[in-house]
C-alpha cells in the first residue's frame, strides 16, 4: 500500500520527463538531428567503479590511454563506495587535462555534436533513495528520441529522452567535459575557462596550463587575465623571457592591473633588469587595490636589491 502511494506520488511529481532534453535540441537551430562521437573506447566498469571507468573512457578519447584500474586510486573513495565529483575533476587535472563543467542539456548536446564525449552524473533512483552513477554520453538521436551512452557494463546503451531527463535532472544536470588543454568548449565562458585552467596550476601542470592560457589569449584577445595566467605558468616553467612578454601584454591590455605590474617587476628583477623592474613595481604600488601589501613588499625588496649588492661608499 505504502509502495503504491509512493509510486502514485512520484508519478504526479515527475510525470512529464524528457521535456528539457527535447527542447534543448528543438530550440537550437545549429544542432544536427543526430550525432555520435567517434572513437570513445568502452571500458566496462567493475562493481562500484563507474567513476574510474567513465574518466578512463574520456581520458583515452582525449589521447591519454589509461585503464579504469589506473585511476581507481585517484578517484574512488572506499567508505562512500563511490567517487566524488571533485575527485574526477582533480584526477583529470592531474593528467594535464582541462575539466570544464557542463550544465544542462543544451551544453551537453552542443559538445556531443562537436564530437566530444561528456561525463554525466545520473541518479538512477530517487532523491530519497539515491543511486548515483557516472556514464559517458557519446551521442543522441532526435528522431528516435534517444541519448546514447557508455554506461556500466553496456556499450552504446540507448536511453529514451524521458528516462535520461528524469535520471539526469536528479543530479541537477551535472556534467563534465574533459579536454586537452589546447581545445576549447563549443561556447566557452571566459571566467569558467580560466577557473578550469587555474585548476591545472593547482595540480602543478604548468606546461598544460601555459597551453590553455595561450588558447584563452587567442580566443579572448582583450583578456588581461589570460596573459597574467600565461606569465605565471611560464615563470613556473623557468621561462623568464616568455613570462616578461606575457606580463607586458597584460599591462598593455589592462594598465590598471597592479597584479600584472607586480609580477612583471618581479621577473624583470630576477633577470637582472632592476631598473625596469623598479619602474614596474612603483607603478603597481601607485595603482593600489586589494593587493597593495604584496606590491609594497615587492617594491621594498627590489629597492633593497638595487642598493644592496652595489659596490661603493656606505653612509
Partner 1 sequence: MLRKMTKSISLFMIISFLACNLAADAARAGMIGTETALQAIGREEGLSIVTAFLEREDVRQAMTRQGVDVLEAQKRVAALSEAELHRIAQQIDQLPAGGDGVGTVVGALLLVFLVLLVTDILGLTHVYPFVTRR
| Closest to partner 1 by CB, 29 or 47 | 47
Buried b (16+ CB within 10 A) or exposed e, 117-150: bbbbbbbbeeeeeeebbbbbbbbbbbeebbbbbb
Query: In this complex, which beta carbon is closest to partner 1, that of residue 41 or of residue 152?
Result: 152
Residue of 85, 110, 96, 35 lying closest to 63 (CA atoms):
96
Whole-number Å distance between alpha carbons of 117 and 160: 18
If one asks whether residue 238 binds partner 1 (CB under 8 A), the answer comes out as: no
Residue 30 CB, nearest distance to partner 1 (Å)?
27
Do residues 49 and 152 touch, judged by C-beta distance below 8 A? Answer: no
Q: At what angle do helices 292-307 and 258-270 cross, to 10 degrees?
A: 20
Pattern 154-173, binding to partner 1, x per CB under 8 A?
x--x-xx-xx--xx---x--
Residue keyed to cell 574512488 = 76
In the window 275-304, what residues touch partner 1 (CB under 8 A)? 289-291, 293-294, 297-298, 301
Report in angstroms how near the CB of residue 227 gets to partner 1 at its nearest: 10
**Nearest distance, CB of residue 225 and partner 1, angstroms:** 6
* Nearer CB in complex with partner 1: 110/168: 168
Q: How far is the CB of 113 from partner 1 (least distance, A)?
A: 23
244 touches partner 1 by CB under 8 A = no
Do 175 and 118 contact (CB within 8 A), yes or no? yes
- Provide φ and ψ at 156, rounded to 5°: 65, 35
Instruction: For residue 64, state whether it binds partner 1 (rule: CB under 8 A).
Output: no
Which range touches partner 1 (CB under 8 A), out of 31-39, 109-117, 149-157, 306-314? 149-157
Q: Give CA–CA dist 249/255, Å, rounded.
A: 10
Q: Which of residues 95-134 bind partner 1 (CB under 8 A)?
A: 121-126, 129-134
CA gap 16, 135 in Å, rounded: 23
Q: Residue count at the site for partner 1 (CB under 8 A)? A: 87
Nearer to partner 1 by Cβ, of 35 and 53: the residue is: 53
Site for partner 1 contains 223 (CB under 8 A): no
Amino acid at each position: 500500500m505504502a509502495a503504491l502511494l509512493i509510486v502514485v506520488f512520484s508519478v504526479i511529481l515527475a510525470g512529464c520527463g524528457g521535456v528539457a532534453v527535447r527542447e534543448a535540441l528543438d530550440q537550437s537551430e545549429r544542432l544536427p538531428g543526430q550525432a555520435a562521437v567517434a572513437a570513445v573506447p568502452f571500458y566496462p566498469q567493475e562493481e562500484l567503479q563507474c567513476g574510474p571507468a567513465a574518466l578512463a573512457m574520456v581520458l583515452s578519447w582525449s589521447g591519454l590511454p589509461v585503464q579504469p584500474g589506473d585511476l581507481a586510486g585517484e578517484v574512488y573513495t572506499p567508505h562512500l563506495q563511490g567517487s566524488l565529483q571533485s575527485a574526477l575533476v582533480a584526477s583529470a587535472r592531474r593528467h594535464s587535462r582541462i575539466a570544464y563543467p557542463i550544465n544542462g542539456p543544451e551544453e551537453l548536446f552542443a559538445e556531443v555534436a562537436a564530437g566530444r564525449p561528456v561525463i554525466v552524473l545520473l541518479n538512477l533512483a530517487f532523491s530519497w533513495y539515491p543511486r548515483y552513477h557516472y556514464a559517458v554520453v557519446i551521442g543522441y538521436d532526435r528522431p528516435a528520441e534517444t541519448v546514447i551512452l557508455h554506461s556500466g557494463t553496456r556499450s552504446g546503451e540507448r536511453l529514451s529522452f524521458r528516462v535520461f531527463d528524469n535520471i539526469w535532472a536528479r543530479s541537477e544536470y551535472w556534467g563534465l567535459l574533459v579536454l586537452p588543454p589546447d581545445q576549447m568548449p563549443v561556447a566557452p565562458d571566459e571566467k569558467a575557462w580560466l577557473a578550469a585552467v587555474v585548476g591545472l596550476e593547482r595540480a602543478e601542470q604548468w606546461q598544460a596550463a601555459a597551453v590553455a592560457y595561450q588558447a584563452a589569449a587567442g580566443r579572448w584577445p582583450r583578456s588581461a587575465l589570460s596573459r597574467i595566467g600565461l606569465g605565471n605558468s611560464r615563470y613556473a616553467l623557468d621561462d623568464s623571457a616568455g613570462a616578461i612578454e606575457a606580463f607586458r601584454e597584460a599591462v598593455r591590455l589592462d594598465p590598471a592591473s597592479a597584479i600584472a605590474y607586480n609580477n612583471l617587476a618581479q621577473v624583470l628583477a630576477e633577470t637582472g633588469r632592476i631598473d625596469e623592474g623598479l619602474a614596474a613595481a612603483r607603478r603597481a604600488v601607485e595603482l593600489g587595490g586589494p593587493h597593495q601589501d604584496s606590491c609594497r613588499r615587492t617594491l621594498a625588496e627590489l629597492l633593497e636589491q638595487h642598493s644592496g649588492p652595489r659596490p661603493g661608499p656606505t653612509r
